[in-house]
């Protein structure tokens, strides 16, 4: 297919993914806030008589709202009942489509790092897919096991297991792909919660009521537990989704630990907000988040590895030859690297002008973070990195 069409499909799917994700996470934040902010209605009030367990007043967009939550369910169900599920399904479907378009179809370039593990593309894709399905299966079993009754411990075990997943993926896939697959695994758990637990439970409750029976309160409890889990997953997942802009996180030698630190900070900060909506200002949680992020900032600061001295004169032609041998495969209008269909990150290195314009970014990627060439698939040597470093430092001139 026309490569531009594939790229454009990527644009549309990514756009959809972000829109659906905003709608989903927005409603997750809203309903958890709502639940945490409810107050019991005054005894003897109409609301109390109707079986309302909590309510609140809010003003938004020029109007007043008075949502009420029933302990299990109201005595009679209204004709029209709003459901929240397509936000979740659309986010997962578009996210998976994007994963396939961006990573699985370009596994050679974007998923495999031969220095981590020399996998075949199908193996990398299989590991990615298995991590999504496997994470959901294990998580769901844990929630249904006796551990599922102990919320705090369950949360801790889930966090440890997901950290293990991050570690395992970082030891098999390239850093970028490892991160995004941890995100895809968590996203699958979140969507699985909606599809397999929350919505079926709600359907059973509604069916019971329509049949004039009392709905099973366990369905409500289970749904609530999964929905709270989803709420705590949001901040870590959102970090992962933007992490591919921050190579110093996913290309760090202990990238999985960097991910765990940032995820823990996210959970801690989310917990603060959830407590705050209940009127408890537990400042130790954002403080912990800040400390964890501070450690991460310090730990990920680039430490330039010493390079060997350069033999001979550093000329532009020498730099051009290196770039021609190690970079243009992925950074020209018609890339030749398998699976790469467009110049990556818009960086064009096939002309002298292109090289000069990208000099600073090249320095950053080749000398400071050493992320380029990606996974060093083109086997650049330290001496060649040193030549690029010396050329940029001497002013990145185009004189041969
Ligand atoms: C196997 C393909 C591949 C090779 C070879 C490769 N790159 Fe890249 N390059 C990429 C990809 C993919 C990205 C986009 C990464 C991203 O979006 O984070 C990228 C991004 C970049 C960027 C932009 C990063 C930024 O965020 O500013 C620069 C600069 C760069 N590469 C320079 C180089 C140089 C210099 C070489 C050769 C020494 C090289 N690349 C070799 C695939 C490659």
Q: What is the mean pLDDT of residues 250-279?
A: 95
For the chain, percent of residues with pLDDT exceeding 70: 100
Question: 337 CB under 6 A from ligand 1?
Answer: yes
CA distance 107 to 313: 38
The ligand 1 atom nearest the CA atom of 378: 5
Question: 111 CB under 6 A from ligand 1?
Answer: no
Output the residue whose Cα is nearest ligand 1's atom 32: 362
Residue of 152, 162, 198 whose CA lies nearest to 28: 198
Confidence category of residue 1, pLDDT binned at 50, 70, 90: low
Would you state the pLDDT for residue 5?
A: 83
CA distance 84 to 103: 29
Answer whether 38's CB lies under 8 Å from 69's CB: yes
CA distance 323 to 91: 39
Would you state the pLDDT for residue 369?
A: 83
Provide the sign of the torsion angle of the four alpha carbons 352, 358, 362, 368, taken in this order.
Answer: positive
Residue of 172, 167, 186 whose CA lies nearest to 240: 186
Question: 344 CB under 6 A from ligand 1?
Answer: yes
Question: 376 CB under 6 A from ligand 1?
Answer: no
Question: 112 CB under 6 A from ligand 1?
Answer: no
Q: How far is the CA of 372 from the centre of ligand 1 (A)?
A: 5
Question: 249 CB under 6 A from ligand 1?
Answer: no
Q: Name the average pLDDT for the chain.
A: 93
Residue of 140, 25, 12 whose CA lies nearest to 91: 25
Token pair in block for residue 399: 């004189």
Q: What is the mean pLDDT of residues 182-199?
A: 98
CA distance 106 to 124: 10
pLDDT at 267 over 90: yes
Answer whether 118's CB lies under 8 Å from 175's CB: no
Task: Choose which residue among 106, 361, 362, 372 to substitute to test ligand 1 binding: the one with the highest number of ligand atoms within 8 A of its C-beta.
Answer: 372
Q: How far is the CA of 124 from the centre of ligand 1 (A)?
A: 20
Q: How far is the CA of 110 from the centre of ligand 1 (A)?
A: 11
Q: What is the mean pLDDT of residues 166-177?
A: 97
Residue of 296, 295, 135 whose CA lies nearest to 229: 135
CA distance 384 to 380: 6
Q: C-alpha 360: how far from its chain's center?
A: 28
The number of residues making up the chain comes to 400
CA distance 37 to 34: 5
Token pair in block for residue 387: 């030549």
Would you state the pLDDT for residue 194?
A: 97
CA distance 225 to 386: 54
pLDDT at 373 over 90: yes
Unique residue bearing structure tokens 């959809």: 16
Would you state the pLDDT for residue 196?
A: 98
Residue of 96, 87, 254 whose CA lies nearest to 180: 96
Answer whether 260's CB lies under 8 Å from 300's CB: no
Token pair in block for residue 89: 């399904």
CA distance 290 to 266: 10
CA distance 252 to 112: 16
Unique residue bearing structure tokens 């870590």: 236
Answer whether 220's CB lies under 8 Å from 205's CB: yes
Task: Choose which residue among 176, 374, 377 to substitute to test ligand 1 binding: the one with the highest number of ligand atoms within 8 A of its C-beta.
Answer: 374
Would you state the pLDDT for residue 42?
A: 93
Residue of 298, 333, 320 whose CA lies nearest to 400: 320
Unique residue bearing structure tokens 């950074």: 331
Would you state the pLDDT for residue 343?
A: 83
Q: pLDDT tens for residues 46-105?
A: 999 988 999 999 999 999 999 999 987 888 888 899 999 999 999 999 999 999 999 999
CA distance 142 to 147: 6
Q: pLDDT tens for residues 210-264?
A: 998 888 989 999 999 999 999 999 999 999 999 999 988 998 999 999 999 999 9
Residue of 227, 180, 238, 170 whose CA lies nearest to 22: 238
CA distance 25 to 230: 9
């Amino acid at each position: 297919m026309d490569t531009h069409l594939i790229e454009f499909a990527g644009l549309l799917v990514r756009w959809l993914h972000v829109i659906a994700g905003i709608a989903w996470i927005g409603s997750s934040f809203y309903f958890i806030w709502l639940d945490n902010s409810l107050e019991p209605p005054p005894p003897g009030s109409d609301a109390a008589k109707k079986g309302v367990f909590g309510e609140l007043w809010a003003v938004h967009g020029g109007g007043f709202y008075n949502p009420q939550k029933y302990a299990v369910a109201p005595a009679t169900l209204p004709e029209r009942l709003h459901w929240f599920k397509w936000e979740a399904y659309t986010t997962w479907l578009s996210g998976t489509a994007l994963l396939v378009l961006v990573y699985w179809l370009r596994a050679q370039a974007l998923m495999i790092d031969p220095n981590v593990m020399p996998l075949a593309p199908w193996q990398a894709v299989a590991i990615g897919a298995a991590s999504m399905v496997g994470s959901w299966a294990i998580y769901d079993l844990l929630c249904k096991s006796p551990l599922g009754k102990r919320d705090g411990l369950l949360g801790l075990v889930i966090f440890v297991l997901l950290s293990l997943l991050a570690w395992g993926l970082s030891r098999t896939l390239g850093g970028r792909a490892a991160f995004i697959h941890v995100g895809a695994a968590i996203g699958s758990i979140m969507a699985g919660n909606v599809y397999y637990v929350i919505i079926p439970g709600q359907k059973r409750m509604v069916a019971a009521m329509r049949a004039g029976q009392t709905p099973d309160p366990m369905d409500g409890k289970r749904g609530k537990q999964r929905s709270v889990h989803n709420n705590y997953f949001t901040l870590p997942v959102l970090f992962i989704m933007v992490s591919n802009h921050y190579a110093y996180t996913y290309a760090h030698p202990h990238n999985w630990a960097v991910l765990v630190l940032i995820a823990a900070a996210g959970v801690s900060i989310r917990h603060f907000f959830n407590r705050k909506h209940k009127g408890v200002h537990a400042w130790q949680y954002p403080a912990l988040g800040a400390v964890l992020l501070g450690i991460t900032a310090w730990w990920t600061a680039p430490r330039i590895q010493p390079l060997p001295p350069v033999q001979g004169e550093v000329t532009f032609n020498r730099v051009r030859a290196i770039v021609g041998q190690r970079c243009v495969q992925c950074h020209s209008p018609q890339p030749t690297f398998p699976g790469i269909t467009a110049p990556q990150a818009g960086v064009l290195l096939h002309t002298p002008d292109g090289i000069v314009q990208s000099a600073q970014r090249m320095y950053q990627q080749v000398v400071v973070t050493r992320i380029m060439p990606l996974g060093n698939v083109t086997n650049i040597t330290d001496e060649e990195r040193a030549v690029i470093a010396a050329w940029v430092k001497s002013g990145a001139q185009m004189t041969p």
